[in-house]
Amino acid sequence: MLEIHVMDLEKDPDEMYKLAKKIMSQAYAPYSGYKVGAVIKDEHGNLHQGVNVENAAYTGSHGEYGAISAMLASMPQGKCITAVTIVTKDGGTPCGNCLQHIWQFCNGIWSVPIYCGDVFGKIKIFQIKELLPFPFDFEF
């Protein structure tokens, strides 16, 4: 893990952070109060965004799911995640289930970066292999 400030990011991750932070306010989290903004970059450089949505039955969806769904809906083929940025109030990482969903579209690339930012601009940078060292994979 590497820890930096948003001002030290290169152009693409900085743009992803700013977008994730902006959309985080659109999350619907009336029960936990924990809002998540997620942005995924695909192999074509397109950015796809999502937010978490809670409901009274506690079966809501996570922001990473929303971003993956947006990617799938917009691309007829060639679905590969090349970077992920999430912003939360405290810079939390994606949960295990979200990491597994992300891994499904990394096409076996262990070095896909996961940027986890807080609302103050502090960002932790991981590779997917650090957060999900033993994913369920395509072979059984």
pLDDT digits (tens, 9 = 90+) for 10-36: 667 889 999 999 999 999 999 999 999
Confidence of residue 79 (pLDDT cuts 50, 70, 90): confident
- Percent share of the chain, pLDDT over 70: 88
- Percent share of the chain, pLDDT over 90: 78
pLDDT greater than 60 at residue 39: yes
Here the tokens at position 44 are 């074509």
pTM above 0.85, yes or no: yes
- pLDDT (average), residues 97-119: 95
Classify residue 112 as exposed, middle or buried by CB count within 10 Å of its CB (0-12, 13-18, 19+).
buried
Q: Which residues contact 72 (CB under 8 A, 6 or more apart)?
A: 79
Out of 10, 43, 64, 130, the active site residue is: 64
- The third-level CATH classification (topology) of the domain covering 2-75+90-105+116-121 is Cytidine Deaminase; domain 2 (3.40.140)
The yes-or-no answer on residue 64 being catalytic is yes
Q: Which amino acid is residue 56, in one-letter code? A: A
Rounded CA gap, 64 and 85, in Å? 9
Alpha-carbon separation of residue 30 from 34, 68, 125 (angstroms): 8, 23, 29
